[in-house]
Structure 1
Amino acid sequence: MDAVVKKFPDLSPTGRPSRQEAEAAVETLLRWIGEDPAREGLRETPARVVKAYEELFGGYRDDATKALGRTFEEVSGYDDTVLVRDIDFHSHCEHHMVPVVGKAHVAYKPDGRVLGLSKIARVVDIFGRRLQTQESMTAQIADAIVEALAPKGVAVLLEAEHMCMSMRGIRTKGSRTITTSFNGVFRDDKDERDRFLMLVGQRG
């Protein structure tokens, strides 16, 4: 079970602010930026924001390891790398709560068992729908696959644009951040690591 679910085992409303309190907090922010929450265009905004947050941060309700689900032994002797690349993800920076938009490339070297391919994209989505740093998210994806599958190795590469850099601060629009996590053969074998990087377009 991943660390966030361990930290917050009870994700019911018990002990958490109510929906009404959350909407009141959005209304407070609207007033703080100089807006009038009572004007026609903003009357429903607090409720809409809270509803949107339920979707945008729905990853807190899910256990990534459980989401990986069944593994399969019927692989006909296949023991080479399995790569799912160009997985779109959206997350939010935990420092400023603004969007992070990017792609994930995830590979593993099976040790007798394989995963359903859609499950890998699902795990990326679960961790993306939480407040994150890109470094943490990269490691979390790798750790979840290691825990569920025990493969010979896992490689994860995330490349993303951070709106906290594009929209505020130094406003470096278009810059992308790349983070990696290598486990097992991808960490220990340079040829395997280089092949992964070539397959995801990071090395010519």
Structure 2
Amino acid sequence: MQKKHKETSVDQSDDRPSRSEVEAAVRTMLRWTGDNPDRDGLRDTPKRVTKAFEEYFRGYNEDPEQILSTTFEETEGYDEMIVLRGIRFESHCEHHMAPIIGRAWVAYIPNGRVVGISKLARIVEVYAKRLQIQEKMTAQIANAIDTVLQPQGVGVLLKAEHFCMTARGIMKPGTDLVTSRMLGVFRDSPVTRQEFLSIIE
């Protein structure tokens, strides 16, 4: 039997900095760059950056299991592969806070119940809107679907460009990273795995 994975909760402690503290930190960063945070073009930048960060990292305030909790059992016995292809996502790497831009392919084979397809895209979005490494994000998406839906199997594949590599450091634009996570029949059956990969291609 496939072992189920429980997503560990994100620390939501009450000692998070206040909005004013975050804005002050942004002002410090602007000064560190050598610019003047009091000039017209930068005066409201600390507020804008703080608001943007709320959007970039809103995934910490969402519960993946709750998103997947509403399912449908009236499927007329449908038990073939379900694939949502090319889900665009924007994330940020936890090492440099640089953008990660990519697409996700999410598949599962139901075991008596299915979930609305928009929920699959929302699961990708929840984990993308956190500080990430792609390998962890891939596993988190697959594990959440596996835990809540308990399907026959789950397949997740991510392809993404990492700006920490393409826009700084080694400076290799045009490269992307591919990661996958296969659970249940996607791991155990080469035929199922190949069917999923052929749909992606």
Name the TM-score class by shorter chain.
over 0.9
Q: 1:84 is paired with a residue of what secondary structure?
A: strand
Q: 1:156 is paired with a residue of what secondary structure?
A: strand
Measured after TM superposition, the shift of residue 28 of structure 1 is 0.5
Q: Give the TM-score of the pair, scaled to structure 2.
A: 0.95
| Aligned amino acid, residue 80 of structure 1 | E
Measured after TM superposition, the shift of residue 199 of structure 1 is 0.2
1-structure distance, mates of 2:65, 2:34: 44
1-structure distance, mates of 2:141, 2:182: 11
Q: 1:65 is paired with a residue of what secondary structure?
A: helix
Q: 1:112 is paired with a residue of what secondary structure?
A: coil
Tell me what 1:176 maps to.
176
Q: 2:154 is paired with a residue of what secondary structure?
A: strand
The answer to whether the 8 A contact 2:10-2:60 is kept is no
1-structure distance, mates of 2:96, 2:12: 25
Tell me what 1:154 maps to.
154
| Aligned amino acid, residue 61 of structure 2 | R
Greater relative contact order (Cα < 8 A, sep 6+) = 2
Q: 2:35 is paired with a residue of what secondary structure?
A: coil
After TM superposition, which residue ranges in structure 1, 4 or more long, deviate above 4 angstroms? none
Q: Does 1:33 align with 2:33?
A: yes
| Aligned amino acid, residue 94 of structure 2 | E
Q: Give the TM-score of the pair, scaled to structure 1.
A: 0.94
Counterpart mapping for 1:1-204 below 5 A: 2-3=7-8, 6-10=9-13, 14-201=14-201
Cα root mean square deviation, aligned = 1.0
Superposed CA deviations along residues 59-112 of structure 1, whole A, max 9, x for unmatched, are: 000011111131111011110000001000000000000100000000001111
2-structure distance, mates of 1:93, 1:9: 20
Where does the alignment leave 5 or more consecutive residues of structure 1 unmatched? none
Query: How many residues are treated as equivalent by the alignment?
Result: 196
Where does the alignment leave 5 or more consecutive residues of structure 2 unmatched? 1-5
The answer to whether the 8 A contact 1:2-1:63 is kept is no
